[in-house]
């Protein structure tokens, strides 16, 4: 189980099977604060289940990885969704896998446009936070509560993720 995967541009449509794209746009928006702000409403839904579950808001500073990326492991969170919203207009790599009979299936790789964030569905296999080119800060919305909300899967052979030309 190995191979080369070329990351493709992230869109709401091609990411829909895995979760939500968080970005300014779409039809669900309206003015607030006396018309001085535009609210883009309900871009994603946080999901938290299990004992003493709560939704947490955190921040993280991610360090970039070298490309091509050797993908050896993916993780999932059985009790809650997990959103990453960049705090700078830089792209990052998003890797996701459908769940198969014996673990994650072949990975899909996406590159966000500047300013796009993502919300992984609960129990979705995904890669770790992967900034491209330079360190990047993110807002995280995920689950707190009792129980282990992390499961890791290590591939028997790594996948190699390439960025398309001009994406670095």
Tokens matching residue 150: 């992390």
The CATH fold assigned to 3-162 is Jelly Rolls (2.60.120)
Measured in residues, the chain has a length of: 168
Per-residue DSSP letters for 94-130? Answer: EEEE-EETTEE-S-EEEEPPTT-EEEEPTT-EEPPPE
**pLDDT tens across 43-91, in order?**
999 999 999 999 999 999 999 999 999 999 999 999 999 999 999 999 9
**pLDDT tens across 142-165, in order?**
999 999 999 999 999 999 999 998
For the chain, the distance separating the N- and C-terminal CA atoms, rounded to the nearest angstrom, is 26
Tokens matching residue 45: 């839904």
Strand, helix or coil for residue 13: helix
Dump strand ranges (E) for the chain: 3-6, 8-9, 19-22, 29-32, 37-40, 54-62, 69-76, 82-86, 92-97, 99-100, 103-104, 108-111, 117-120, 125-126, 130-131, 136-144, 151-162
Residues 74, 153: Cα–Cα separation, whole Å:
5
Q: Which residues contact 100 (CB under 8 A, 6 or more apart)?
A: none
pLDDT score of 168: 66
On whether the CB atoms of residues 40 and 123 are closer than 8 A, the answer is no
On whether the CB atoms of residues 149 and 79 are closer than 8 A, the answer is yes
Residues 130, 96: Cα–Cα separation, whole Å:
12
Percent of the chain with pLDDT over 70: 99
Residues 24, 117: Cα–Cα separation, whole Å:
10
**pLDDT tens across 81-100, in order?**
999 999 999 999 999 999 99
């Amino acid at each position: 189980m190995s191979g080369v995967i070329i990351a493709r541009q992230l869109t709401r449509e091609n990411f829909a099977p895995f979760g939500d794209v968080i970005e300014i746009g779409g039809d669900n928006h309206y003015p607030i604060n006396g018309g001085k702000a535009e609210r883009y409403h309900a871009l994603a839904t946080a999901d938290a289940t299990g004992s003493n579950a709560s939704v947490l808001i955190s921040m993280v500073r991610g360090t970039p990885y070298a490309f091509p990326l050797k993908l050896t492991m993916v993780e999932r969170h059985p009790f809650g969704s997990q959103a990453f919203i960049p705090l700078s207009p830089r792209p990052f790599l998003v890797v996701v896998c459908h769940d198969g009979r014996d673990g994650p299936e072949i990975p899909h790789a996406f590159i966000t446009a500047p300013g796009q964030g993502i919300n992984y569905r609960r129990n979705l296999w995904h890669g770790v936070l992967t900034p491209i080119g330079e360190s990047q800060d993110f807002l995280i919305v995920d689950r707190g509560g009792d129980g282990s909300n992390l499961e890791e899967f290590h591939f028997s052979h790594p996948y190699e993720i390439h960025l398309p030309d001009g994406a670095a």
